Each structure stands twice: as structure tokens, then as C-alpha cells.
Amino acid sequence: MTIATNRGIMNAMASSPLILRIRWPVRLWHWINALSVFIMLMSGMMIFNAHPRLYWGKFGANFDKAWLEIGNHGTRGYVALAGHEVPTTGLLGYAQSTALAFPPILTIPSSYGLSAARGWHFFFAWILVASLVAFLVYALVSGHLRRDLALTREERRPSHLAQDLWDHARLRFPRGEAARRYNPLQKIAYLSVVGILLPLLILTGLTMSPTMNAVLPWLLDLLGGRQSARSLHFIAALGIAGFIAVHLLMVVLAGPINELRAMITGWYRLPPERRP
Amino acid sequence: MSGLTRRHALIGASGLLLAGCDRIVASPTVKRVIGLGENASRSAQRLVAGNALAPEFSAADISPVFRVNGNTRPTAAAYLDLMADGFARWQLAVDGLVARPLSLSLAQLRAMPQRTQITRHDCVEGWSAIAEWTGAPLALLLRAAQVSSRARYAVFHCADDFDGTPYYESIDLSEAMHPQTILAHTMNRQPLSVGHGAPLRLRVERQLGYKQAKYVMRVELVDDLARFYGGKGGYWEDHSGYQWWAGI
């Protein structure tokens, strides 16, 4: 890219307007949620380390068949999915000279500690649930859900979604006026997190509590038993981790300074329209 | 070479990050704040649970193999002596803050009204196993012993130990009086095996596995847990910092 065209883009950037894109309640919730989700994932991985096997059904322990296991043969780590072992030394099962499913770099606390991990997990569970409820109430009452997150009739058309998918694949993000709004795939991603993954994590989490099983036996039945709930909890957490990876990649690709400023101050500079 | 140094720098940086995180986790102030979560869980669950019953299962749901866990064979001479004649001379003591201390043989416990329930045992580590348990409801024993109004907890003293430190556990009176809280002598229609806590173990069905004390010798009614061993109300609570409230 030449200096001249570079300057042209800079000029266009400077002249494109700053808009108030994200209101303070959403920004506040985003950061509280980001912190809680990271702590929940890290302490959750340590809790998983205590029994790194997952089952389907009402019960499940060492003598029962696990659909997923992260383990090791000496210093060789593996992940076994439905009995098929994949070597994962250095990543999972055995890494950082530690024979645990998830290595020290990923967990809270970093060395084996189930009670501390449970302490952190259940403390931040309260924060996660309280902030999510507050966010959902705000999103409903303020119109954020209807105005910014719900897909319009036009956006729900398969051809529109296909076009959006094709644009994402070519990393052609909306610019100019179109960038005032979230795009359809972005809306679907956000709605999946607040509407499906986080609620599923909370409900499956409650279902692992023996006292809550006494209070909400129907939830235990609905989720297919405690070990199924534990498996679904893990899968939903994996979904959240996948969302975070894509979310961060998108922030970087869309312009990390502009995106971060928007999530901190609310102000977002509309990317200038492409020259025809 | 530069790849190697970058790798070393990454390892160094992650080491610093880990050390930083662990300092936060180990800080007494942080531990106190994190501990508030346990209080919140206990209060909230006490509020919503009332006397709700733990789910019970059908015979078809029973685990084919119920893993033995914790101590699987006490080594104390007094216990081995009792075991030698099939616990015929074994007696359960119910004492502490009661008007009428009790001493009951296995035969006397079996002669009381019994409760049988097929329930799920959930280890704090994450696994679960289902079994059928039969025993005397703890509430019947506590009524017979006439528990003082000053009593707040039931402490279970056990015959097993870890390196000389006896196993013990405690529950509050509302959990102790719960209809599914039983002292079980029978598991899956067989006398309780030594691995599972013969001759008597606690079943407190709305709590995690470490509360299900095995080899129970004595139930002591108390108003405070601070004077027992490490003061946190149970062996694992003292030894590994497990939460006393084990409903979650």
C-alpha cells in the first residue's frame, strides 16, 4: 500500500463520524461478564481435573463407560473420545510437567486444588447470574434486545444470511452506515450466548447440586440425570470458549482500537465506505 | 536461537502470571471474600430447600459397581476387634447435648422403624453412583435421645483415620432431622461391607459424598464446631479446605 492511499484512508477515518454505539449498562455488563466467564472457565477446568471423565445418564464413575476422558499414560497425555485415544502431550492430559487434564496455565488455582476451585467457581457464579439477569431485564426494558439484537425480517431471509456468511468468509465487514448496526451473524452469536449457552450453563450447574435436585427434580429429569447435566455443562463451556476465540479474532480483524474504545467509552468510529 | 529465547520468554512470562494468580488465590483477604460465596449458597439453599426430598430412583437405576472411596478398611485395633465377631459387640453412642444419652447395638438399630431409599451418591470430585440404602432415620434416634434446644449440629465420630487423624463430619439439625437422613446398615440388600463403612454409615442425601461418614461410632450433639480437631466441622474441611456446606 502506498503512502498516498494510506493517507487517503487516514483522512477518511478522521472525517467519518464517531457514534455512541454501546450504552453504559451493556458496557458494564460486558466487562463484569467477561471477568466472571474467564474465572468460571479457569476454575471449572480445575474442577474437571478432579475427575476428568464425562458420562451420559443418571450416574457415572470409574467403572462406568465415559464418552470423554482426558488422561495420561505416564508422561503421555491423551484425549479419549468414545474410546478413541488422540495423543495430546504438551496440551492436555500431560503438560507443563503436570499430570492433570488441563495444565496449570489454564486453571485456578494453578496447582491441584479442588476446594479453592469450587470456592472461586461458586463465588463468581453468583456474579455471573446476577449480572446476566440484570442485563436481560435491561435488554428487554430498554429495547436493546428488540432494536439491536433481534434479527429483522430482512435479515432472517436465507439469502441474506448466506450473503452475510460469504462476506464474513472474505473478511468484508460492514462499513459506513451499515456498520451502525450489528450484522446478522454477530446478532446470532450474541443471542446464542445470552439466550442459550449462559442459561444452559446455569441450569446444568444447578442440576449438579444435590440440594437443588431436591428443590427442582423436574430439571434433573429434563436434563437426563446428573452426569448428563455435567456433560452438557462441559459442552456449553466449550461453546463459550469457542465464542470467545471467534469474538476476539473478530475484534482484531475489525480494528481492535476502535472496537475496544467502543466497549470502554461507548464511542465507535464508523469505518468509511469503500470507494466504488 | 531466537525461537528458543522467545519460547523461554513465554515460559517466563507465563510463570510470572501463574505466580501472580496464585498470590491472589492464597491471600487471606481474598479467601475471606471468596468464602462469602459459600455463605450465600448455604443461605439460599436453606431458604429454597425446606424439607424437599432428594430424588429417589428405581432398582433399574442402581450402579452396577459402586466405587469404594476414602478409607476402605480402618486399621484401629478397637475396630478390628469389633469386626472380628461381626460387630456383635459394637454399640452406637448418641450423646452430647441430649437429655437421655443412648447406646444402641446393631440389633436395636435394626429393630427400629426402618427407611429404604434408592439414592444417588455424588462425590465432590464429580462422579455419581446410585444404590439402595436401608437404615434407621436419624430423627428417630434424636427424638429418643431428647436433643437439647441448645444443640445446633450433629457430629459423627468415625472409626477410621488418615495418618492418625480421625475422620469426622457434621451436619446442622435441619439436615439431621430430614426424613431421608438415615444411619444405614444395609446397602443393596446386603449388610454394609467394610469398604462402604460397616457396620453403619450416614446417608444425608442432599449433600455431597464427604458428608456420608462411614464407620460411625458416635453421634454427638453440639452447639459449636470450633472445638473439634481443625474446627471446620469435618476431616476434609480441616485437611483440604472443602466447604462445610456440601449442598452444591
Residue of B123, B127, B175, B211 to mutate, interface with A, max A Cβ within 10 Å: B127
Query: Mean of the pLDDT values across residues B82-98?
Result: 97
Q: Say whether residue A230 is in contact with chain B using an 8 A CB cutoff.
A: yes
> Could you list the residue range(s) of the whole structural domain that residue A148 is in?
17-50+113-269
DSSP string, A221-274: HHTTSHHHHHHHHHHHHHHHHHHHHHHHHHHHHH-HHHHHHHHHHSEEEPPPPP
A30 part of a folded domain: yes
A276 part of a folded domain: no
**Closest Cα of chain A to B90: distance in Å?**
32
pLDDT band at B19 (very low <50, low <70, confident <90, very high): confident
Rounded Cα distance between B27 and B20, Å, is 11
A176 part of a folded domain: yes
A210 part of a folded domain: yes
Q: State percent of chain A over pLDDT 90.
A: 88
- The architecture in CATH of the region B54-240 reads Alpha-Beta Complex (3.90)
Helix (H) or strand (E) run with residue A127 in it: helix A114-142
Query: Mean of the pLDDT values across residues A67-86?
Result: 97
Query: Mean of the pLDDT values across residues A102-120?
Result: 97
Rounded Cα distance between A273 and A16, Å, is 9
State in Å, rounded, how far the first CA of chain A is from the last one: 18
Query: Mean of the pLDDT values across residues A80-90?
Result: 97
- With 50 as the cut, is the pLDDT of residue A2 above it? no
8-state DSSP, B165: E
Alpha helices in chain B (DSSP H): 2-26, 28-49, 77-84, 106-111, 138-145, 173-176, 235-240
Q: Which residues numbered 185-244 in B keep a CB inside 8 Å of some CB on A?
A: 205-208, 240-243
Look at residue A9 in the predicted model and tell me its pLDDT.
Answer: 53
Of A213, A151, A227, A216, residue with least CA distance to A182: A151
pLDDT band at B1 (very low <50, low <70, confident <90, very high): very low
- With 90 as the cut, is the pLDDT of residue A88 above it? yes
Look at residue A273 in the predicted model and tell me its pLDDT.
Answer: 85
Cβ pair A270, A175 in contact under 8 A: yes
- With 90 as the cut, is the pLDDT of residue B71 above it? yes
Give the pLDDT confidence of A179-212 residue by residue, as tens digits.
999 999 999 999 999 999 999 999 999 999 999 9
- What residues of chain A lie within 8 A of the CB of B208, using their CB? 210
Query: Mean of the pLDDT values across residues A211-225?
Result: 98
A216 part of a folded domain: yes
Look at residue B59 in the predicted model and tell me its pLDDT.
Answer: 98
Look at residue B94 in the predicted model and tell me its pLDDT.
Answer: 98
Query: Mean of the pLDDT values across residues A74-86?
Result: 97
The conformational region for residue B91 under phi > 0 = left, psi -120 to 50 = alpha, else beta, is beta
Query: Mean of the pLDDT values across residues A26-38?
Result: 98
Look at residue B17 in the predicted model and tell me its pLDDT.
Answer: 73
A36 part of a folded domain: yes
Residue of A63, A104, A209 with shortest CB distance to B67: A63
Look at residue B20 in the predicted model and tell me its pLDDT.
Answer: 80
Cβ pair A66, A83 in contact under 8 A: no
pLDDT band at A110 (very low <50, low <70, confident <90, very high): very high
A107 part of a folded domain: no
Q: State percent of chain A over pLDDT 70.
A: 94
- With 90 as the cut, is the pLDDT of residue B50 above it? yes
- With 90 as the cut, is the pLDDT of residue B204 above it? yes
- What residues of chain A lie within 8 A of the CB of B54, using their CB? 210, 213-214
Give just the sign of the alpha carbon dihedral B50, B51, B52, B56. positive
Domain boundaries, chain B: 2-44, 54-240
Of A107, A109, A62, A53, residue with least CA distance to A82: A53
Query: Mean of the pLDDT values across residues B223-229?
Result: 97
Using the CB atoms, write b or e for A238-274: b if 16+ within 10 Å: ebbeebeeebeebbeeebeebbebbbeebebbbbbee
pLDDT band at B13 (very low <50, low <70, confident <90, very high): low
Counting the structural domains of chain A, the total is 1
Rounded Cα distance between A223 and A199, Å, is 13
> Are the Cβ atoms of A209 and B205 closer than 8 angstroms?
no
Rounded Cα distance between A221 and A233, Å, is 15
Look at residue B22 in the predicted model and tell me its pLDDT.
Answer: 85
**Closest Cα of chain B to A201: distance in Å?**
15
Q: Say whether residue B30 is in contact with chain A using an 8 A CB cutoff.
A: no
Residue-level length of chain B = 248
Residues 6+ apart with CB under 8 A from A173: A167, A179, A183, A253, A254, A271
Q: Which CATH number belongs to the domain containing residue A218 in this structure?
A: 1.20.950.20
Instruction: Please give the grid coordinates belonging to residue B243.
Output: 466447604
pLDDT band at A12 (very low <50, low <70, confident <90, very high): low
Look at residue B6 in the predicted model and tell me its pLDDT.
Answer: 59
Cβ pair B135, B182 in contact under 8 A: yes
Angle at A98 between CA A94 and CA A100, to 5 degrees: 65
Rounded Cα distance between B104 and B81, Å, is 18
A10 part of a folded domain: no
Look at residue B5 in the predicted model and tell me its pLDDT.
Answer: 61
Give the pLDDT confidence of A149-189 residue by residue, as tens digits.
999 999 999 999 999 999 999 999 889 888 999 999 999 99
